[in-house]
């Protein structure tokens, strides 16, 4: 039945790794298999293992950051975070930019560690400069205990507005600003 098998894997190992092949071999030994024109249909998993199409595991690509300018301040490492539904700005940065009054909000922020914080307020329709392009954004202002090295977090709404494409494999963020 099996005329040719070109695999750099012992048949015993292949049978143990692929449940459908294991069943087939068991039926073959018992004599329950009916020959059908010497064709054996295998599952995708079986095919991938037999053809060595298993991808290699890669490590963590790190964080995705871009440089943005807000007024006179440049933030060289603003974090692009697809896990964040809002843009975040520390209260200390908002004060440095001259903001003292914020739109009140009733939202509470839930962080990855399940802790919650209430923001100071929101800055709406604020323009962030990337190169020669101004991108409107809303920022949730949050009072933090200590100043962060990379203080701005740009969430999904900003990344969508900026037409961002994040290439995780290459570790780059591509903003299609010129295509607007």
Q: Where are the domains of the chain?
A: 11-50, 65-179
What is the average pLDDT across 51-80? 85
Per-residue model confidence as pLDDT tens digits over 30-46 = 776 555 556 666 666 66
Please report the pLDDT score of residue 30 as a whole number. Answer: 74
More reliable by pLDDT, 47 or 77 = 77
Q: What is the DSSP string of 74-126?
A: EEEEEEE-TT-SSEEEEHHHHHHTT----B-----EE-TTS-EE--SEEEEEE
Q: What is the mean pLDDT of the chain?
A: 82
Per-residue model confidence as pLDDT tens digits over 162-178 = 998 988 888 888 888 86
Which phi-psi region, left, alpha or beta, contains residue 121 (left: φ > 0; alpha: ψ -120 to 50)? left
Please report the pLDDT score of residue 75 as a whole number. Answer: 92
Per-residue model confidence as pLDDT tens digits over 140-157 = 999 988 777 778 999 999
Q: With a cut of 90, say whether residue 136 has pLDDT above it.
A: yes
At the fourth CATH level, the homologous superfamily of domain 65-179 is: Acid Proteases (2.40.70.10)
Q: With a cut of 70, say whether residue 180 has pLDDT above it.
A: no
Dmax of the chain from CA atoms?
83
**Which value, in Å, is the radius of gyration of the alpha carbons in the chain?**
28
């Amino acid at each position: 039945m099996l005329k040719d098998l070109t695999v750099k894997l012992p048949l015993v190992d292949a049978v143990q790794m692929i449940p459908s092949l294991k069943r087939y071999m068991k039926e073959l030994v018992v004599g329950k298999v009916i020959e059908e024109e010497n064709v054996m249909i295998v599952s995708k998993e079986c095919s991938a293992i037999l053809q060595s199409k298993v991808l290699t595991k890669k490590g963590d690509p790190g964080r995705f950051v871009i440089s943005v300018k807000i007024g006179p301040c440049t933030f060289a490492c603003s974090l692009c975070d697809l896990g964040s539904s809002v843009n975040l700005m520390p209260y200390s940065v908002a004060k440095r930019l001259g903001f003292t009054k914020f739109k009140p909000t009733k939202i509470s922020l839930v962080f990855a560690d399940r802790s919650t914080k209430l923001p100071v307020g929101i800055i709406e329709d604020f323009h962030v400069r990337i190169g020669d392009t101004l991108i409107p954004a809303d920022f949730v202002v949050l009072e933090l205990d200590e100043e962060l090295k990379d203080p701005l977090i740009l969430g999904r709404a900003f990344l969508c507005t900026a037409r961002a494409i994040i290439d995780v494999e290459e570790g780059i963020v591509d903003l299609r600003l010129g295509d607007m």
